[in-house]
Protein backbone atom coordinates (compact mmCIF):
# COMPACT_ATOMS: atom_id res chain seq x y z
CA UNK A 1 0.00 0.00 0.00
CA UNK A 2 1.42 3.35 -1.04
CA UNK A 3 0.76 6.34 1.17
CA UNK A 4 0.85 9.71 -0.51
CA UNK A 5 1.92 12.52 1.76
CA UNK A 6 1.13 16.14 1.23
CA UNK A 7 3.92 18.68 1.09
CA UNK A 8 2.91 19.93 4.56
CA UNK A 9 3.16 16.43 6.02
CA UNK A 10 6.61 15.92 4.52
CA UNK A 11 7.75 19.32 5.77
CA UNK A 12 6.46 18.58 9.29
CA UNK A 13 8.56 15.40 9.44
CA UNK A 14 11.78 16.84 8.04
CA UNK A 15 14.65 17.91 10.31
CA UNK A 16 14.30 21.46 9.04
CA UNK A 17 10.59 21.54 9.85
CA UNK A 18 10.99 24.83 11.67
CA UNK A 19 10.88 27.78 9.36
CA UNK A 20 14.14 29.64 8.87
CA UNK A 21 12.10 32.74 9.73
CA UNK A 22 11.99 31.65 13.37
CA UNK A 23 15.72 30.99 13.50
CA UNK A 24 16.41 34.34 11.86
CA UNK A 25 14.23 36.24 14.34
CA UNK A 26 15.90 34.62 17.33
CA UNK A 27 19.30 34.99 15.65
CA UNK A 28 18.90 38.75 15.21
CA UNK A 29 17.78 38.99 18.83
CA UNK A 30 20.89 37.01 19.88
CA UNK A 31 23.10 39.32 17.83
CA UNK A 32 21.53 42.36 19.51
CA UNK A 33 22.14 40.75 22.92
CA UNK A 34 25.77 40.08 21.98
CA UNK A 35 26.29 43.69 20.92
CA UNK A 36 24.81 44.77 24.26
CA UNK A 37 28.00 43.55 25.91
CA UNK A 38 30.14 45.53 23.47
CA UNK A 39 28.14 48.72 24.00
CA UNK A 40 28.10 48.27 27.77
CA UNK A 41 31.87 47.90 27.73
CA UNK A 42 32.19 51.11 25.75
CA UNK A 43 30.11 53.20 28.12
CA UNK A 44 31.51 51.61 31.28
CA UNK A 45 35.09 52.09 30.13
CA UNK A 46 34.67 55.58 28.72
CA UNK A 47 31.63 56.84 30.63
CA UNK A 48 30.12 57.86 27.31
CA UNK A 49 26.48 58.96 27.45
CA UNK A 50 26.09 58.16 23.76
CA UNK A 51 26.85 54.46 24.38
CA UNK A 52 24.27 54.28 27.17
CA UNK A 53 21.68 55.38 24.63
CA UNK A 54 22.94 52.91 22.02
CA UNK A 55 22.81 50.18 24.69
CA UNK A 56 19.19 51.07 25.48
CA UNK A 57 18.16 51.04 21.81
CA UNK A 58 19.95 47.71 21.33
CA UNK A 59 17.90 46.30 24.20
CA UNK A 60 14.70 47.47 22.52
CA UNK A 61 15.77 45.83 19.26
CA UNK A 62 16.49 42.56 21.08
CA UNK A 63 13.07 42.69 22.76
CA UNK A 64 11.29 43.44 19.46
CA UNK A 65 12.88 40.50 17.64
CA UNK A 66 12.35 38.14 20.59
CA UNK A 67 8.69 39.19 20.75
CA UNK A 68 8.37 38.63 16.98
CA UNK A 69 9.89 35.15 17.42
CA UNK A 70 7.38 34.45 20.20
CA UNK A 71 4.45 35.57 18.03
CA UNK A 72 5.79 33.44 15.17
CA UNK A 73 6.12 30.45 17.52
CA UNK A 74 2.52 30.92 18.67
CA UNK A 75 1.33 31.26 15.08
CA UNK A 76 3.34 28.54 13.32
CA UNK A 77 5.09 26.37 15.91
CA UNK A 78 2.37 25.58 18.44
CA UNK A 79 3.34 21.92 18.55
CA UNK A 80 6.91 22.79 19.48
CA UNK A 81 6.28 23.66 23.13
CA UNK A 82 10.02 23.87 23.78
CA UNK A 83 10.35 26.70 21.27
CA UNK A 84 7.13 28.36 22.33
CA UNK A 85 8.10 28.42 26.00
CA UNK A 86 11.73 29.29 25.23
CA UNK A 87 10.75 32.22 23.03
CA UNK A 88 8.30 33.56 25.59
CA UNK A 89 10.90 33.17 28.32
CA UNK A 90 13.47 35.02 26.21
CA UNK A 91 11.05 37.90 25.68
CA UNK A 92 10.04 38.14 29.34
CA UNK A 93 13.65 37.97 30.56
CA UNK A 94 14.70 40.64 28.06
CA UNK A 95 11.95 42.93 29.34
CA UNK A 96 13.14 42.27 32.91
CA UNK A 97 16.73 42.94 31.86
CA UNK A 98 15.74 46.25 30.25
CA UNK A 99 13.79 47.22 33.36
CA UNK A 100 16.80 46.49 35.59
CA UNK A 101 19.03 48.45 33.22
CA UNK A 102 16.67 51.41 33.44
CA UNK A 103 16.80 51.28 37.23
CA UNK A 104 20.59 51.19 37.16
CA UNK A 105 20.86 54.21 34.85
CA UNK A 106 17.87 56.33 35.88
CA UNK A 107 17.65 55.63 39.62
CA UNK A 108 21.38 55.10 40.35
CA UNK A 109 20.82 51.58 41.65
CA UNK A 110 24.28 50.30 40.78
CA UNK A 111 23.82 47.36 43.15
CA UNK A 112 21.49 45.80 40.55
CA UNK A 113 24.47 45.37 38.20
CA UNK A 114 25.26 42.09 39.98
CA UNK A 115 21.92 40.77 38.68
CA UNK A 116 21.93 42.60 35.33
CA UNK A 117 25.20 41.19 33.98
CA UNK A 118 24.69 37.49 34.89
CA UNK A 119 21.14 37.70 33.51
CA UNK A 120 22.64 39.00 30.26
CA UNK A 121 24.88 35.90 30.11
CA UNK A 122 21.87 33.65 30.64
CA UNK A 123 19.99 35.53 27.91
CA UNK A 124 22.72 35.04 25.33
CA UNK A 125 22.81 31.33 26.20
CA UNK A 126 19.05 31.02 25.72
CA UNK A 127 19.19 33.03 22.48
CA UNK A 128 21.88 30.69 21.10
CA UNK A 129 20.09 27.53 22.29
CA UNK A 130 16.72 28.36 20.69
CA UNK A 131 17.77 28.29 16.99
CA UNK A 132 19.88 25.19 17.63
CA UNK A 133 16.91 23.50 19.27
CA UNK A 134 14.62 24.67 16.46
CA UNK A 135 16.64 22.81 13.86
CA UNK A 136 16.71 19.63 15.87
CA UNK A 137 14.49 16.87 14.50
CA UNK A 138 11.57 16.06 16.79
Residues 83-102: tens digit of each pLDDT: 999 999 999 999 999 999 99
Query: Kindly report the CA angle at 42 between 38 and 44, in degrees rounded to 5?
Result: 115
How confident is the model at residue 11, as a pLDDT? 55
Closest CA relative to residue 34, chosen from 137, 125, 131: 125
How confident is the model at residue 26, as a pLDDT? 95
pTM listed for this prediction: 0.83
Alpha-carbon distance values, 112 to 20, 82, 118 (Å): 36, 30, 11
Amino acid sequence: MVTIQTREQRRAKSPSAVSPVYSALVGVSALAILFQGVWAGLFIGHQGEKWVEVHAVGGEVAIAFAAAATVFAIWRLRRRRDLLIGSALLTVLLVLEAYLGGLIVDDDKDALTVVHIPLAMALISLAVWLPLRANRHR
